[in-house]
Chain A
Amino acid sequence: MLDLVHYSTFSNKEKFLHKIDVSSHLAICHSSIEIDDRTSWGIEILSNNAKNVWDVFYDARKQSLKINNQSISIRDFVQNTEKNPVITAKPLIDATSLSYPELQYLFYWFNKIGEPFDLLYVEPEGYSPSSRDKFTLSEDGLGLVQLSPFLGRIQNNIIYIISIGFEGHRVEGLLNNDEYSNPGIQEIKLIVGVPAFKAGFDRDSLKANISALTQIKQMSSREVYIAPANNPWVIIKYLNKVLKSLDKRDGYRQKLSLIPFGTKPVAIGMAWFAVKNQENTIVTYDHVKNIQGRSKGIGKVHFAQFDNID
């Protein structure tokens, strides 16, 4: 059985390159678009050094993955049909360039086939606000949609777990969405990234989400969970704790609805938890489109290993 077995953080890219050899890996990234400095760096390192490279892109409208220009439906992909590509070396997932759905499906597949893999994530040096207290890091996407196969009826009594980042409008989009606000969000848990990637990011994140937080404050059952912004371990542990507390009355277990709007490491924790607890988890994502130049510089580099624990 696969699990997250190792997670290390390097203070800069040089230290990462000194310690980790990517030349024997099958790099999996979204190489066709270089959004910002860190993404470009990651793609360059992987393209030039990895044994093989897969360019992966998720098409939310078609619910399919494009791997090196070959389209495969999500259903075929997660069911591991013969349409899936052949893994030629140990996979190294570039979480910096890949979006949440792409990570979610890769995790699902590797977990299903018991394929150990590594993961790389690069923090930015900073984000540029588009105006005071407002960060425009992405454009409108498809809107809130549940990610198959993590589906479930939201009219049931479910617990929403939302990680927040710099884009308060994404949380507001959920809170003001009639589909969610009626019948209503009975229980909500917010994951706030503290400590943040850098001092001051946590303050920026709270300021960007102030309007959503004000709305959530009015709700009767809400909780704020403070967790490091760059540590998926803590998130997995927290979600497991919440899972144990779920209402199991009438033989039907309550579900968790995961909404990953926060940092990528937190999203990695959520995605891995969802894979391990599919029956109890709904995953909802808004499929926003990242915009060019959303961050600046290259910060710390994270490296994770998912391996068999049996």
Chain B
Amino acid sequence: MKLIKLLNTLGATRTEQQHFSYSVYKKFVVPLALAQYDLREMGHSIILQGSRGCGKTTFIRYFSHWTQFDKKRSSLESDSVNSVILYWKPDTAFFRSISYGWLQEDEAFQFFMVIAGLEIFEELLSAVDNMSHHWPEIINELERSTEFWPSIKLITGLNDRDICSQLQWVKKQLYIAETAIQGPNTSELTSISPSAILKLLVPIIQRECSRLNNVRFSIYVDEFENLSEQQQKIINGYRKGSDATLTWNVAHKRFAKIVNKTDGIEQITETDDFRNLYMEEIYGAEKRSQSYEGIYDYGANSQVFTSEVFLHGLLSEGIASDIEGLSCETLTDLEHINYRQQKEYQERILKLMRKLFPEPQVPELATISMQQKGVKNLVEKQLLKSKIIPVETINEFIKKRPSDAFVSWCISQQKTFKPEQLLDFINNGGATAFKERVRTYSMTALLNMNARFNYVEIPIYSGFERFIALSQSNIRHFIELCYQSLSQLDSEGIELNTLNNIPSVSYEQMHQGAIETSKSFIGKINGFEPSGQKLSLLVNRLGILFQSYQRQAVQSEPEKVSIVVKSVYGEFPEEIDSLLESAKCWRVLIQDEITRDRSAKTVVSSSSQFRLGPICSPGFKISYRKGRTIQLTLEEFTNLCFANNILFQKWLNDHIESEQEIVEQGALF
């Protein structure tokens, strides 16, 4: 296969629209910790949370009857089940619209109950149909049942004892409901409700079907946060009433605003009524102890899994695997989890990824950059300003130790720089303090050079591990980084048969791919409803602020890419609070635990700090690492969020100017 063809196919797949079936059979890469997070084994009601693009929907669909009993399967994973998972993705765009003032409160309730009831009825019938395909005795037992079809008749009024006719009835009733809402006219609506339909039919199915006797039915409501407040309360009431035979569960974006009240007087609470599951943990990321919610370490397991999802995409398009133990089957079949946990296998996967996306270490990047004539001249000119060091020594230093010379370029611009320390470093390896300084400022020097000089492009965002850091294990971002990097290859003439055939992507190509992915993401932020434009403004202004710090000639501290907003007890006005919550939910800002800031002169009341999602970093040429903080007053931050461009630019100029004065006065080392 030609690489260009593969890229075109992958490009189409990335934007491929979902079709009717919810099955992800042979499309779902099974996470290694599946057993621990098997939705079929959950004894409680669950909230499944994760950032956008992390795979919540795919995860639920994998466990649902659509995949477990997919008619394309030649055999089932197991001869028995403990639970049947129903999947309901409400048409939230429609549901939210019917909750507004067009309808009276009772009508809005009635329409929601009827349409939701019909959709859940459809889902239950589909589950029976899918299960009966593999276990024909189910439909036979239901046929003999004196309760099942009469109960169905009670709902639909139809005598037909086949699922297909009943599904057609549902379709017709949905059409009637949809048309009636335009009236609005409730008189033609059928009588049905989500909870009643399940309470009526599930016990009959459990009782009459020998294979389903002690089987729990669990329904997962996807995109819960997009339902209206009242609709969420109704579902919460169902969740509160979950029991051993039927549980209601929900999935939503992490940090989304959701309601905990029921439509009665009760509330639902964690532990008593539900447990939280986080997609990041399911995919192998490890929660940092005492860290903020949503902050993880993306270790080997998480890296392997993310890589496997990417490689599965290639294998699905017909690229053969020449990696021992890697195939579509091993990735999608539960049977092979133990094998995939073996260190040797994981190393082979990581080795392949590191070969495809090789990663230059920081000293190597500095050395590479020194091969650019422009960079070398800048370094030479700066170091020669140290009059006490002979020209020959500097030239020799640049020639023999280009990486150290490069970082020294950055350090030598600091107010506290002492040429004799550099001379000592050149001649004798120097004191520990200077060596430590070289280590601390190596990345800063690279970022500074990139940000200050447009003609310099040091590929700092290249490499597999950096892609992991940039994407924070967000599968959508990771695949996009890989895809955009591969797209930089001269794909026309490259023929691919196997994974090992794929040529390594150069540092520059990966760097370019990362910048394109990042810019594309930043460009889409203004579409992140409902505060997209405000989020976009905030992200762009923070990007400009961090970039301004990073391009200062004098780098007093490495990588200032976080902000702390000074406010009383960390409380913000509603407008700011709501914007920050939305930013966290869309993952454009990340909230971290506060880090001690060496330059801090005042006690900060706010208990947290914010930085841009790392995927934004290449677009702004800033650091993707956590870095140090910039303190802003609440007034400054409010202006940053909402002031017009002229005011913001003026504030930025003043702020950077005052910062430079502080840097010139202060001594860090």
Contact status A140-B530, CB under 8 Å:
yes
A177 within 8 A of B: yes
Contact status B527-A173, CB under 8 Å:
yes
Contact status A63-B94, CB under 8 Å:
no
Q: Which of B96-104, B206-214, B605-613 interfaces with chain A?
A: B96-104
Interface size on A, as a range, is 35 or more
Within 8 A of A (CB), among B180-221: 181-184
B178 neighbours in A (Cβ, 8 Å): 151-153
CA distance A180 to B115 in the complex (A): 19
Q: A63-B100, A145-B97, A179-B92 are in contact. Are A169 and B182 (CB under 8 A)?
A: no
Q: Which of B12-20, B63-71, B133-141, B299-307 interfaces with chain A?
A: B12-20
B17 neighbours in A (Cβ, 8 Å): 181, 183-186, 219-220
Q: How many A-B residue pairs have CB under 8 A?
A: 130
Chain A min CB distance to B58 (Å): 11
Chain A min CB distance to B30 (Å): 22
Task: Fill in one digit per residue for A231-273: 1 if any B CB lies within 8 Å of its CB, else 0.
Answer: 0000000000000000000101000000000000000000000
Chain A min CB distance to B147 (Å): 30
B16 neighbours in A (Cβ, 8 Å): 184
B154 within 8 A of A: no
Task: Fill in one digit per residue for A177-194: 1 if any B CB lies within 8 Å of its CB, else 0.
Answer: 111111111100000000
Contact status A154-B94, CB under 8 Å:
yes
Chain A min CB distance to B57 (Å): 7
Contact status B101-A211, CB under 8 Å:
no
B19 neighbours in A (Cβ, 8 Å): 183-184
A126 within 8 A of B: no
Contact status B520-A62, CB under 8 Å:
no
Task: Fill in one digit per residue for A33-77: 1 if any B CB lies within 8 Å of its CB, else 0.
Answer: 000000000000000000000000000011110000000011100
Interface size on B, as a range, is 35 or more
B524 within 8 A of A: yes
B175 within 8 A of A: yes
CA distance A177 to B179 in the complex (A): 25
A32 within 8 A of B: no
Task: Tell which of A144, A211, A219, A252 touches B524, judged by Cβ atoms closer than 8 Å.
Answer: A211
B529 neighbours in A (Cβ, 8 Å): 143-144, 173, 177, 286
B520 neighbours in A (Cβ, 8 Å): 211
A130 within 8 A of B: yes
Chain A min CB distance to B543 (Å): 14
Instruction: Report whether over half of chain A's contact residues are helix, strand or loop; otherwise say mixed.
Output: loop
Contact status B530-A75, CB under 8 Å:
no
CA distance A155 to B223 in the complex (A): 14
A278 neighbours in B (Cβ, 8 Å): 182
Within 8 A of A (CB), among B395-420: none
Task: Tell which of A74, A149, A173, A250 touches B183, judged by Cβ atoms closer than 8 Å.
Answer: A149
A146 within 8 A of B: yes
Contact status B533-A151, CB under 8 Å:
no
Task: Fill in one digit per residue for B105-139: 1 if any A CB lies within 8 Å of its CB, else 0.
Answer: 00000000001000000000000000000000000
B179 neighbours in A (Cβ, 8 Å): 279
A297 within 8 A of B: no
Q: A149-B102, A151-B94, A155-B91 are in contact. Are A219 and B526 (CB under 8 A)?
A: no
B181 neighbours in A (Cβ, 8 Å): 149, 151
Question: Which single residue of chain A is at the shortest CB-CB distance from B253?
Answer: A178
Question: Which single residue of chain B is at the shortest CB-CB distance from A282?
Answer: B94
Task: Fill in one digit per residue for B529-542: 1 if any A CB lies within 8 Å of its CB, else 0.
Answer: 11111101000000
Task: Tell which of B89, B182, B532, B533 touches A150, judged by Cβ atoms closer than 8 Å.
Answer: B182
B343 within 8 A of A: no
Contact status B93-A154, CB under 8 Å:
yes
Question: Which single residue of chain B is at the shortest CB-CB distance from A289?
Answer: B533
CA distance A232 to B381 in the complex (A): 66
Q: A63-B100, A74-B101, A153-B91 are in contact. Are A172 and B527 (CB under 8 A)?
A: yes
B440 within 8 A of A: no
Question: Which single residue of chain B is at the shortest CB-CB distance from A169?
Answer: B526
B100 neighbours in A (Cβ, 8 Å): 61, 63, 145, 148
A85 neighbours in B (Cβ, 8 Å): none
A220 neighbours in B (Cβ, 8 Å): 17
A140 neighbours in B (Cβ, 8 Å): 530-534
A139 within 8 A of B: yes
Contact status A173-B532, CB under 8 Å:
yes
Contact status A252-B171, CB under 8 Å:
yes
Chain A min CB distance to B42 (Å): 24
B103 neighbours in A (Cβ, 8 Å): 75, 148
Within 8 A of B (CB), among A198-221: 211, 215, 218-220
Task: Fill in one digit per residue for B76-95: 1 if any A CB lies within 8 Å of its CB, else 0.
Answer: 00000000000001011110
Question: Which single residue of chain A is at the shortest CB-CB distance from B101?
Answer: A63
CA distance A154 to B90 in the complex (A): 10
A139 neighbours in B (Cβ, 8 Å): 533-534
CA distance A172 to B527 in the complex (A): 5
A26 within 8 A of B: no
Task: Tell which of A130, A179, A219 touches B93, judged by Cβ atoms closer than 8 Å.
Answer: A179
CA distance A220 to B534 in the complex (A): 32
Contact status A215-B15, CB under 8 Å:
yes
A142 within 8 A of B: yes
CA distance A187 to B591 in the complex (A): 39
B528 within 8 A of A: yes
B46 within 8 A of A: no
Contact status B524-A172, CB under 8 Å:
yes
CA distance A218 to B97 in the complex (A): 29
A142 neighbours in B (Cβ, 8 Å): 530
13 contacts across the A-B interface (CB closer than 8 A): A61-B100, A136-B533, A140-B532, A140-B534, A143-B529, A149-B181, A151-B178, A172-B526, A172-B527, A173-B526, A175-B527, A178-B52, A219-B15
Complex A-B, nearest 9 residue pairs according to Cβ-Cβ distance, in ascending order: A184-B17, A148-B102, A143-B530, A63-B101, A172-B527, A173-B527, A146-B97, A169-B526, A218-B15
By a beta-carbon cutoff of 8 Å, the part of chain B in contact with chain A is 11-12, 14-19, 52, 57, 89, 91-94, 96-98, 100-103, 115, 171-172, 174-175, 178-179, 181-184, 223, 226, 520, 523-524, 526-534, 536, 645
